[in-house]
Copies of this chain bind each other. A is one copy, B any other.
């Protein structure tokens, strides 16, 4: 099964444009029958999983804990117990890697994705040499859509 990773800020509100972008991108991924990989928690991760389920897809959450701390839209919970160390697994398990907004955790995942030679498509995320970063949601969604 083809897999795409969606990474981003775990604290964004459902009303934000970042959350909506993650939801839309998740929906496209799910509707294509592509497995969505993410960190399993909230904010962008929740939005992407919610979208993927609405699209009819399967979602995988690579959790930092041993306990099930996942959002309600994760189908398969991988309980790593490895803290931030799980970020490298999220980056390594999907291609392309899609970054929506994001803080320092997201930056570590972008770095690992580029290190591993993956294509990274971003929406208002970190400006790092080697990624495609879009300011307008329509351009971002369209870029992800063409990349799948």
Contact = CB atoms under 8 A, between A and B. Distances in A.
Interface string A78-109: 11111111011100110000000001110110
B103 A78 contact: no
B88 A81 contact: yes
A50 to B, nearest CB: 16
Total copies of this chain within the assembly:
4
A104 B108 contact: no
Given A112-B108, A115-B84, A77 B93 contact: yes
A144 interface: no
Give the dominant DSSP class at A's interface.
mixed
Contacts of A81: 82-85, 88-89, 92
Given A60-B76, A85-B88, A104 B115 contact: yes
A77 to B, nearest CB: 7
Interface of A: 1, 3, 35, 37, 58, 60, 62, 66, 75-85, 87-89, 92-93, 103-105, 107-108, 110-112, 114-116, 126, 128, 130
